């Protein structure tokens, strides 16, 4: 399992550099990550990832050959700036 943390200072967003580094570290240690799971909106704060974070996650999964699994995705979410 490769964990990731949400960054409060970024509105509970993701630090994509940190996530990419953790995946690389896991591979160097002999692990073979196969999927990335996101919980959106996230618990316990209920924040939704930004559109940019979601796009970055899709790109990361494509680049890294990971299956993207999304839990608690609400189709009625509206993203505004």
Do residues 7 and 15 make contact, with C-beta atoms less than 8 angstroms apart? yes
Q: In whole angstroms, give the CA distance from residue 49 to residue 70.
A: 12
What confidence tier does 44 reach under pLDDT thresholds 50, 70, 90? low
- pLDDT-based confidence at residue 6 (cuts at 50, 70, 90): confident
Average pLDDT of the segment spanning 41-53:
77
Torsion of Cα atoms, 59 then 70 then 39 then 41, to 10°: 90
pLDDT above 90 (res 38): no
- Kindly report the average pLDDT of the chain as a whole number: 85
As a whole number of angstroms, the distance between CA 20 and CA 60 comes to 8
What predicted TM-score, i.e. pTM, was given to this entire model? 0.79
Calculate the dihedral angle through the C-alpha atoms of 5, 61, 70, 48, rounding to the nearest 10 degrees.
Answer: 50
């Amino acid at each position: 399992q490769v964990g990731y943390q949400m960054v409060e200072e970024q509105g509970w967003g993701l630090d994509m550099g940190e996530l990419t580094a953790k995946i690389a570290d896991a591979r160097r240690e002999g692990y073979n990550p196969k999927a990335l799971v996101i919980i959106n909106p996230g618990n316990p704060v209920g924040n939704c990832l930004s559109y940019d974070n979601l796009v970055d996650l899709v790109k990361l999964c494509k680049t890294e050959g990971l299956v993207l699994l999304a839990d608690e995705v609400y189709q009625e979410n509206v993203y505004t700036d």
